[in-house]
Amino acid sequence: MAYNYLTLDQSMILIALANYLRDGTIQQHFAADPIIQRAFLLLKAERFFDRLSCA
């Protein structure tokens, strides 16, 4: 079980590092997916950090 968690952690670190070193290539690749673009439309409507919604 611990091996699976270690693998997940290492893979996320590796992808984050690759994304940083390649000027956001990984993020751009996933953002170009049509399914993700539809999700972006839904996320635009959300106000995640609006102080009024937290009150």
Place 2 in a pLDDT band, splitting at 50, 70 and 90.
low
| pLDDT at residue 20 in the model | 97
| pLDDT at residue 43 in the model | 87
Q: Which residues contact 31 (CB under 8 A, 6 or more apart)?
A: 37, 40
Q: Is the dihedral of CA 14, 17, 21, 26 positive or negative?
A: positive
The domains of the chain are located at 2-45
Give the integer Cα–Cα distance in Å for 47 and 30.
Answer: 22
pTM of the shown model: 0.57
Nearest CA to 16 out of 43, 39, 8 is that of 8
Kindly report, residue by residue over 31-53, the tens digit of the pLDDT.
999 999 999 988 888 877 776 65
For the chain, percent of residues with pLDDT exceeding 90 = 51
Q: N- to C-terminal Cα distance for the chain?
A: 41
List the structure tokens of 52.
């009024």
